[in-house]
């Protein structure tokens, strides 16, 4: 079971890095075309990531620990306050803006890796559903990271390289660093960790993906969001009916 868990964590963490890299490559080669489709990726990912914590992750976390909801709030506030701190720092010149913005993305991507480890340690279903949303949103994150770095005038090749290091590699790094500690947690502490992750996922969806997608809203993007919600509901209820 432990080997299977680590295998799934590895698959999703590495897939995130690959999809993120594809986003960087596509915006590097086809900037206009990539900008047109990234809103759909963000909306779909947001649909999955807002549904999964509410209908699956939080209920399971509360079963493991009664104060998991408090830790969900802590996870949400942690992401919110971190984002506010980064916003304050980015009110500078273009180079400083790029450095601090990418620093924030790097921390965010590292936390994505922690999410894979915590969710798959809780259950395959929770990990799989959370993983789908996170992997899909990596494409848009790669595009955004590259675009931010291009504003610093570092050049396309360096921007692509720095985006790969910061946004792509940090996710598997976070997953593999967290794994030795997370697998030693008993079910009670795992419930608290799962609650924290729930807050992180809700924040990523409601305060990061959806606002970004609405800023670059495309025709029918609402359907991409609802498709993400529908997929999450379908998988969860299929599991419930199937026992």
91 pLDDT more than 70: no
Least confident of 105-109, 210-214, 226-230: 210-214
Determine, yes or no, domain membership for 223: no
Determine, yes or no, domain membership for 230: no
Least confident of 42-46, 120-124, 179-183: 42-46
State how far the Cα of 229 lies from the Cα of 227, in Å rounded to an integer: 5
93 pLDDT more than 50: no
Least confident of 48-52, 88-92, 134-138, 164-168: 88-92
Number of folded domains in the chain? 1
**pLDDT of amino acid 48:** 82
Determine, yes or no, domain membership for 148: yes
Q: Give me the helices (H) in the chain, please.
A: 2-29, 31-52, 58-64, 68-89, 94-122, 124-150, 156-163, 170-182, 187-203, 210-215, 221-242
Of 6-20, 45-59, 150-164, 220-234, the range with the highest mean pLDDT is 6-20
Determine, yes or no, domain membership for 51: yes
Q: How far is CA 100 from the centre of its chain?
A: 19
> Average pLDDT of 41-47?
82
Determine, yes or no, domain membership for 237: no
16 pLDDT more than 70: yes
State how far the Cα of 179 lies from the Cα of 115, in Å rounded to an integer: 10
Determine, yes or no, domain membership for 234: no
Determine, yes or no, domain membership for 232: no
Query: 104 near 42, Cβ under 8 Å?
Result: no
184 pLDDT more than 90: no
13 pLDDT more than 90: yes
Least confident of 19-28, 39-48, 154-163, 232-241: 232-241
pLDDT category of residue 153 using cuts at 50, 70 and 90? low
Domain with 24, as residue range(s), is 2-212
Determine, yes or no, domain membership for 218: no
Which CA distances in Å does 71 have to 44, 60, 67, 86?
26, 13, 7, 22
């Amino acid at each position: 079971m432990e080997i299977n868990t680590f295998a799934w964590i590895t698959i999703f963490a590495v897939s995130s890095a690959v999809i993120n890299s594809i986003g960087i490559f596509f915006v590097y080669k086809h900037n206009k075309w990539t900008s047109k489709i990234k809103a759909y990726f963000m909306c779909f990912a947001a649909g999955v990531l807002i549904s999964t914590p509410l209908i699956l992750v939080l209920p399971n976390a509360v079963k493991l620990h009664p104060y998991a909801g408090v830790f969900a709030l802590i996870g949400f506030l942690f992401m919110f306050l971190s984002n506010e701190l980064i916003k304050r720092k980015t009110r500078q010149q273009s180079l400083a803006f790029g450095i601090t913005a990418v620093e924030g993305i790097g921390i965010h991507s590292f936390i994505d890796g922690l999410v894979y480890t915590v969710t798959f340690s809780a259950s395959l279903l929770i990990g799989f559903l959370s993983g789908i949303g996170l992997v899909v949103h990596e494409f848009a994150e790669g595009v955004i990271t590259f675009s931010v770095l291009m504003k610093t005038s570092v050049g396309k090749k360096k921007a692509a390289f720095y985006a790969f290091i910061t946004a792509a590699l940090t996710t598997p790094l976070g997953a593999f660093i967290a794994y030795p500690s997370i697998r030693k947690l008993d079910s009670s502490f795992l419930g608290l960790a799962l609650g924290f992750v729930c807050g992180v996922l809700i924040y990523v969806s409601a305060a990061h993906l959806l606002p970004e997608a609405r800023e670059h809203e495309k025709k029918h993007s609402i359907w991409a969001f609802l498709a993400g919600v529908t997929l999450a509901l379908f998988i969860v209820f299929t599991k419930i009916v199937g026992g």
